[in-house]
Structure 1
């Protein structure tokens, strides 16, 4: 996924003052406001924060044509960046934000999010039933999923000489693959191969299990070419790397000999999601914007342009057969996707993950 980043949520949320935010509560999810289904949206304006290139450029203009509501788009590079803005105290000025699922969970637990008013988002009907069963937000009570996917092995069949199928292919590589391997460097995804290889949860908070995962990563590091979150696809295409840990949509399977697979030990289910801030004064327009994005023609853009699956049945069924053939991960069914482990907020264990990654990379 675009920039799914480190998970130091607890530290960021520690900056939040419920009194300063106004309308939020540090004691749990906020109660819903009374909203007007007949509100004049042309009198509301929205500020939306998203990652660069993560939605159609003409979306604000088309939404204004449809509803009369102005939309200003701001960008954030990482989850941490937008979390820091939303938890700094006072009104952030953001109405709708795109964040990863576990971050939405953390924001809701601090009372910073408006519950989703399903009656104002009729296009929720377009979501797969599985999209209502996400561990960080069962029933989509505080968020609406935008993209989802998993993490696995992306490899050059002509360079590996075999078809890798285990996280141990990264962690304990064949001699000829040493220094031809990259792993993701951000916290959840650096630990993921070791956790799954050892049979642990990707959300484990057990310090003994995390110590064992760290030990495995320390042993694996000398065999790596690099920890790489951004250029692993280019390294594969050039032949500098033969096998990399990759998010599914970023594996360049249109290239000859490059393939993607989910390891036999299982993997994660990551979700990028849309949330409405409790501090927003334009909540009716915010719901209308989310509803607009869930229109199949609009939502399909993400699969067509950033190659990530969307949890919208009608949108996925509209995809061109050649696109799906070029990016076979798009064929992964929601049921199979939900067999992977949903990432959730780590709470007080987040600093342990941060420490492990710092110590592994520093060696």
Structure 2
């Protein structure tokens, strides 16, 4: 899977996307990250429903958000975005409501996935994948498993230079917020400044900030610990079975990727049929089995092969355990700008 998770910035550069042509299709346009559904999904959907759909890829939330904000959603029917961005689209009045009568497979979702704080009752979004963030580590190279965010932020001399941290603002700052006992959605300017200074010191003791190759560094032995999304840690385990994942004792975030239907869609009934199709047990199970992300679909997860769950234990994290973590929310433009500026300063510091 090649999907990028460098996602969470709320400022959108419109100049490039204004000139970009909107996707076109006979019946339906789906915008999604590369590799985020089975390659034959649209063909099978066409055979099952007679509806023709085109797939338009976006690499990041920022990319598709720029296009949607510039066009008012015109040219797109179903879009995959992270929950924070679904919140923004809803606040902008760009989303259609989810009609439960037309999406009967909502019944397959776990109860916890139907009562998420940003959208109780799935009024405007449907969760597609969910997970958390923690520490991915080499169990064969450490005397004890890491247990705190400070194992990354203030690494011992024994592991100095053998760690990576995520560079994306919400997760990089979130780790430091949590280590201090604060919210992953922290907005206090003094707290943001404090974690900036702390992370500048952390930068001197780690190998690098890395969102995309940290698991291969773990597998090769170049590093022994990495700040990691749970699903991506599984990619490391594919290469080296000694790689493990742990959520630090201070807690973590709950991230969710969603499906939303654009209010501007000329094909609302077809769009509802598509999201309903994706919620079918066998279709949603493909995600867990191939992308190695947990899905909030109880029927799908209960059918996963036990051997796969044994190989990737974090796939067995229960919904009850997941929702104990703090949901990433839209923090508003001013705070998001402060996050972006802070990470820029961290990266520039010597």
Q: TM-score range by the shorter chain?
A: over 0.9
* Match of residue 161, structure 1, among 140, 143, 158: 143
Per the alignment, residue 34 of structure 1 pairs with none
The answer to whether structure 1 residue 64 and structure 2 residue 46 are counterparts is: yes
The answer to whether structure 1 residue 281 and structure 2 residue 282 are counterparts is: no
* Match of residue 255, structure 2, among 239, 252, 270: 270
Per-residue deviation, 1:180 = 0.2
Per the alignment, residue 8 of structure 2 pairs with 7
Per-residue deviation, 1:253 = 2.7
Q: Is the 2:5–2:211 contact (alpha carbons within 8 Å) kept by the matching residues of 1?
A: no
Q: Is the 2:237–2:243 contact (alpha carbons within 8 Å) kept by the matching residues of 1?
A: yes
Per the alignment, residue 102 of structure 1 pairs with 84
Which string of whole-angstrom CA distances, capped at 9 and with x for unpartnered residues, describes residues 308-342 of structure 1? 00000010000000100011001100000000000
Per the alignment, residue 359 of structure 1 pairs with 345
Per-residue deviation, 1:119 = 0.9
Per the alignment, residue 120 of structure 2 pairs with 138
In 1, Cα distance between the equivalents of 2:72 and 2:92?
14
In 1, Cα distance between the equivalents of 2:306 and 2:84?
32
Q: Is the 1:10–1:347 contact (alpha carbons within 8 Å) kept by the matching residues of 2?
A: no
Q: Is the 1:253–1:260 contact (alpha carbons within 8 Å) kept by the matching residues of 2?
A: no
The 1:249–1:91 alpha-carbon spacing in structure 2 relative to 1, beyond 3 Å, is closer
* Match of residue 45, structure 1, among 27, 30, 33: 27
Structure 2: 5+ residue stretches without partners:
18-24
Per-residue deviation, 1:176 = 1.2
In 2, Cα distance between the equivalents of 1:112 and 1:357?
30
Which string of whole-angstrom CA distances, capped at 9 and with x for unpartnered residues, describes residues 192-218 of structure 1? 110100001001111111112112111
Per the alignment, residue 38 of structure 1 pairs with none
Q: Is the 2:133–2:247 contact (alpha carbons within 8 Å) kept by the matching residues of 1?
A: yes
Which string of whole-angstrom CA distances, capped at 9 and with x for unpartnered residues, describes residues 146-179 of structure 1? 0000000000122222210110000011101111
Per the alignment, residue 330 of structure 1 pairs with 315
* Match of residue 127, structure 1, among 109, 116, 120: 109
The answer to whether structure 1 residue 226 and structure 2 residue 208 are counterparts is: yes
Per the alignment, residue 237 of structure 2 pairs with 253
In 2, Cα distance between the equivalents of 1:167 and 1:67?
48
In 2, Cα distance between the equivalents of 1:44 and 1:145?
26
Match of 2:171, SS state, is helix
Per-residue deviation, 1:132 = 1.5
Match of 1:158, SS state, is coil
Per the alignment, residue 299 of structure 2 pairs with 314
* Match of residue 204, structure 1, among 186, 189, 208: 186
Per-residue deviation, 1:3 = 2.6
Count of residue correspondences: 338
CA RMSD of aligned residues (A): 2.0
TM-score with structure 2 setting the length? 0.93
Per-residue deviation, 1:90 = 5.2
In 1, Cα distance between the equivalents of 2:134 and 2:220?
20
* Match of residue 300, structure 1, among 270, 282, 285: 285
In 2, Cα distance between the equivalents of 1:177 and 1:352?
31
Per-residue deviation, 1:94 = 1.0
Per-residue deviation, 1:118 = 1.0
In 1, Cα distance between the equivalents of 2:73 and 2:196?
39
Return 155-164 or 46-55, whichever deviates more.
Answer: 155-164
Q: Is the 1:85–1:92 contact (alpha carbons within 8 Å) kept by the matching residues of 2?
A: no
Per the alignment, residue 36 of structure 1 pairs with none
In 2, Cα distance between the equivalents of 1:164 and 1:170?
9
Per the alignment, residue 26 of structure 1 pairs with none
Per-residue deviation, 1:57 = 0.8
Per the alignment, residue 347 of structure 1 pairs with 332
In 1, Cα distance between the equivalents of 2:85 and 2:302?
29
In 1, Cα distance between the equivalents of 2:80 and 2:73?
17
Which string of whole-angstrom CA distances, capped at 9 and with x for unpartnered residues, describes residues 19-46 of structure 1? xxxxxxxxxxxxxxxxxxxxxxxx9710
Q: Is the 1:156–1:243 contact (alpha carbons within 8 Å) kept by the matching residues of 2?
A: yes
